[in-house]
Structure 1
Amino acid sequence: MVQAVEAGHVPVMAARIVELLSPALADGGTYVDCTLGLAGHARMILSTSPHARLVGIDRDADALAIARERLAEFGDRVALYEAVYDELPDVLAEDGTPKVQAILADLGLSSLQIDRRERGFAYSVDAPLDMRMTQASGPTAADVVNTYGERELTRILRTYGEERFADRIARALVRERAATPFTTSARMVQVISDAIPAAARHTGGHPAKRTFQALRIEVNRELEALEGLLPAALDALAPGGRLAVLSYHSLEDRLVKQSFAAASTDTAPRGLPIVPVEHRAAFRLLTRGAERPSPEEEADNPRAASARLRATERLQEVAA
């Protein structure tokens, strides 16, 4: 099964991520992959940093099973945990590793989730409206579409999907579900497409793209989890430790940008000739703005096209 899955699995901006994180692991230490997926990035990090160990986290039990097989060659250098990434402090406490040297969060869907039809993430095929990254619990996309009020659906589509026709789509979904609840994606995709003005259906990608994004974020509370992860990850870094985050839409990237900017900015009032130690920034940015995949990578791996990479480093502690 691993070989079959690997065919469609290409880790995004992998060489650049190795370049950014490996200096922090030159002398060993712990690398945390908060979104392990099929372990593409993790394998490269462990291979290029032979003295490092991995703490791998994923909420998807299926992905963890495959990752465990793919990482078997690294033996006891690997510890895997089924958890959501904002549970990072609990995972590190269980692992007995309060401070780590490198952390990666790749916020995109894994190839496993996209390619397995029954998971319901893809709008291009008819599939059950699930979209849960943790399949054992929580509401599905069908639960959201069939039970949320029109106003709440509009808010979700507008906020999480940045869908300018959110009100029209929500109204159509509520109207159509009254006759027959939605269970699979094809009918919902058609309703979404019909609700969008004809002139707008052929611009900005697939008509259902933004709605599916919004539903996925709502089902998996992705932004809430990211808001919890960022301060926890920064706090978990040892001096010289590095954090890299790959985001795939503006809502995620905005949160990462704001968090990194705050962490890398002095807090002293302006005009002081010397910034007191307690007010000095604890981090420095490793990327100038958000880095993008190269045109060559986008051509080879279309799933990388929307990726945005930011990274930061905890500065060495300065004696007062």
Structure 2
Amino acid sequence: MTHAIQAEGLRRTYSGGFEAVRGLSFTVPRGEIFALLGTNGAGKTSTVELLEGLAAPSAGTARVLGHDPYRERAAVRPRIGVMLQEGGFPSDLTVAETIRMWAGCTSGARPSVDVLDATGLTGHEKIRVKQLSGGERRRLDLALALLGRPEVLFLDEPTTGLDAEGRRDTWALVRSLRDEGTTVLLTTHYLEEAEILADRLAIMHGGRIVLSGTPAEVTAARPARILFTLPPGIPAARLPLHLRAAEDGGRVEIRTTALQDDLAALLGWARDHDVRLGGLDARSASLEEAFLDIAGRITTETEPAR
């Protein structure tokens, strides 16, 4: 079995007729980090709940490790880990008591010291859950999701509330799990997180996937950007014709689909004319730019005519 997760024509309709998931089809190979992105209301959570076996699809099929996660829950649940947006564990229990309680409900639970160390909670064993910071609670949620040595790990906004160091530690942990063979399905609002972690991703809107691929494939069609400041007295009109761009308070921005060639031409012009380019910044399009471009385009296309 090469695919850990398979969705084919997946639909989910709530009472009242609202269709949150509309014919979703995608696969996630074993040992891959797959990010599911979208604006609020795109259908991400509804999709993940179907894959976790928390609800039955209204139509279509879902398979996790070859099984229907809802109808064959007993075969799937011991092999997956789930980190929800909020764990909701008893606030008066200590960290150690919470892990011990959860381990009692988990098949083949690994030693608590392992998950405490992996998630940076060593030394917090006697602290009550209600005394943990928001970031520490997220680490506890992740620790509990890892207790059963999952083959497939579902992470719903895993780094919300974490500081920069905690976020990067979590990224390193998720990568190490992937390298050990764990399949990870990730939802996140941090697009930098998806760009750094995901092997592949899909962007949802209105219950459908509108774009999918590797982060590089998703951003490749968007123009790169060159930013710099010209010295006083040298207007942007002096630039070579194909590099001319509007100035905004002395700052020049060039959008290009040929970053290397245009950057070489710009630097050559600056050298030949003895011009120093202040604050020069050249970079390919980011996933955030691609996402906002797609979201803006879809909103415009679907907005009712006035």
TM range (shorter): under 0.3
Please give the TM-score of this superposition, normalised by the length of structure 2: 0.27
* CA radius of gyration, larger in: 2
